[in-house]
Amino acid sequence: MKLLFKGICSIAFILCFLEHSYCQMNTEPTRIMINPLESGAEGVAVTWRVPMQVDVGNIQYGIATPHPVEGLSAFNKAEAQGRIDTVDYNGVTLVSKNYRVKINDLLPGNKYMYRVGSDQYGWSEWIQFNLPSENSDSTFTFIYLGDPQNDLHSQWSRVIRQAYATAPDAYFMLYAGDLVNRGYNDKEWGDWYRAGSFIHRMIPSIMTPGNHEYTDVILSPLWRTHFTLPENGPTGEEELYGACYFIDYPSVRVISLDGEQIDEDPELRLKQLEWLENVLENTIQPWTILTLHYPFYSTKPNRDNPKLRKAFKPVLDKYGVDLVLQGHDHGYGRGMVNETGPGNKGTMYVVSVSGPKMYDVGNEDWMQARGDNIQLFQVIKTQNDRLIYKSYSATGKLFDSFILEKSTDGNKLIEN
């Protein structure tokens, strides 16, 4: 009898211990990311990570209310798709599980709120995001960041936080590649999420991959693990999914090219070129913004990208792309260049850096403004026929600015 009692006590202890451990394990969503859908004013995708035992993921969403959430009847609910990804880094295979869901048919010009998770495993907090107006004349603001790449938690964090503090009304944050230093290293991605914290789940992100997201010309699986970006690039080219695509807002079409594949793969260079020409030909937005990691014009002579320029520059000139946002050179330079060379007509090319890794900047003749050894972010606004560009330092001080004004013979550059 004594033995039986002891046995029952031991089993009860083990059950209590297991239950306690289970309760202690955090099964709530982590690494929550919001990306725009192809029609950025009408839909977003949300992606998040969960522990392996989580077998359900949902989103609840609706127009944001100023009142406390008391019932869920006012909110829509959608089931998310679960996916398991593997990535090899330094001889170790990481298996991770994530959920993703696209919500569309949202009403432009509204503030929405959402949360992700499930009753069984826990929910995120309620998170708000803004959708721009469907009126292309209204002010439209976004943030552009050059390479974060290094010391993400310790040194890049202050830049993204200052950017958010400077332009909390931004409708998206654009990253011009090299978000991390080693794209296959999950820990660095963890640092990227820690640095951006709630900003990554509040302001939709648009990102183009850089060479540091690649190894042997293969994009890290962690890119598509973390981000849900449009798959409207060249038809059937899966290597370019989430890397070459476009996103439309009423006043702006944002186009991402996969710079690494342009540099490394002649076939994918040609595919992207043909696709870009078609996308530009069919652009109806007043402003066209192109992003890719490698610069058309570099801030140092030994970092030139002639293959890119030779293939793509004539198309940019032909269709009058307004602004090209780039990274890779770890310095700052911007200038307008047209068919005949630098001047105050044509396309405005910008290279910028937000992380702490710095390279010297030369005195290339295309640059109308330059800067080295400075962490920056840019706040860009379109207002009807004006594009107002401001570059700020990590401390929030204005560093460079200009205005592009649409006129019958192209954009007029106003330095201020």
- Residue among 328, 330, 334, 390 that touches Fe ion (CB under 5 A): 328
The stretch among 35-43, 173-181, 349-357, 362-370 that binds Fe ion (CB under 5 A) is: 173-181
* Interface with Fe ion, residue 213, by CB under 5 A: no
Q: Which stretch binds Fe ion (CB under 5 A): 68-76, 314-322, 328-336, 358-366?
A: 328-336
Residue 326 engages Fe ion in binding (rule: CB under 5 A): no
Nearer to Fe ion, 226 or 328 (CB): 328
Beta-bridge partner residues of 35: 45
Residue 321 tokens read as 């792309």
210 binds Fe ion (CB under 5 A): yes
- Tell me: does residue 150 bind Fe ion (CB under 5 A): no
Helices 157-166 & 186-196, crossing angle to 10 degrees?
A: 30
- For position 261 contacting Fe ion by CB under 5 A, the verdict is no
- For Fe ion, how many residues bind (rule: CB under 5 A)? 4
SS3 annotation, 275-322: HHHHHHHCCCCCEEEEECCCCCCCCCHHHCCHHHHHHHHHHHHHHCCC
> Which region among 166-174, 178-186, 194-202, 229-237 touches Fe ion (by CB under 5 A)?
178-186
Number of alpha helices (DSSP H) and beta strands (DSSP E) in the chain: 8, 26
Instruction: Name the one range near Fe ion by CB under 5 A: 60-68, 111-119, 206-214, 301-309.
Output: 206-214
Asked if 49 interacts with Fe ion (CB under 5 A), we say no
Q: Smallest distance, Å, CB 292 to Fe ion?
A: 11
Nearer to Fe ion, 127 or 207 (CB): 207
CB of 321 to Fe ion, least distance (A): 21
Smaller CB separation from Fe ion, 211 or 299: 211
Q: Which of 211, 220, 288, 378 binds Fe ion (CB under 5 A)?
A: 211
Closest distance to Fe ion from the beta carbon of 210 (Å)? 4
**178 contributes a contact to Fe ion by CB under 5 A:** yes
Lay out the sheet containing 92-103: strands in order across: 30-36, 44-50, 92-103, 81-89
- Looking at the Cβ atoms of 60 and 149, the one nearer to Fe ion is 149
| DSSP structure string for 162-191 | HHHHH-TT-S-EEE-S-SSSSTT-HHHHHH
Contact 331, 353 (CB under 8 A): yes
Alpha-carbon span 132 to 140, nearest angstrom: 7
What is d(CA 133, CA 249) in angstroms, rounded to the nearest whole number? 9
Binding region for Fe ion (CB under 5 A) out of 134-142, 174-182, 218-226, 314-322:
174-182
Among all residues, whose Cβ is closest to Fe ion? 328
Q: Rounded to an integer, what is the distance from CA 134 to the centroid of its chain? A: 22
Residue 300 contacts Fe ion per CB under 5 A: no
Contacts with 410 (C-beta within 8 Å, 6 or more apart), sequence order: 320, 338, 345, 346
The Cα-based distances of 263 to 230, 266, 268, 269, 367 in angstroms read 22, 8, 9, 7, 23
157 binds Fe ion (CB under 5 A): no
Q: Are 145 and 178 in contact, with CB atoms under 8 Å apart?
A: no
Q: What is the DSSP string of 145-156?
A: E-B--SSIIIII
Closest to 349 (Cα-Cα) out of 330, 323, 331, 368:
323
210 or 333: whose CB is closer to Fe ion?
210
Torsion sign, CA atoms 237, 193, 72, 69: negative
Does the footprint of Fe ion cover residue 352 (CB under 5 A)? Answer: no
Cα gap 150→198, rounded to integer Å: 20
User: 208 vs 211, which CB is nearer to Fe ion?
Assistant: 211
Question: Which stretch in 87-95, 154-162, 302-310, 320-328 sits in contact with Fe ion by CB under 5 A?
Answer: 320-328
Nearest residue (CB) to Fe ion, 32 versus 207: 207
What string marks each residue from 101 to 140 as x (binds Fe ion by CB under 5 A) or -? ----------------------------------------
Where on the chain is the footprint of Fe ion (CB under 5 A)?
Answer: 178, 210-211, 328
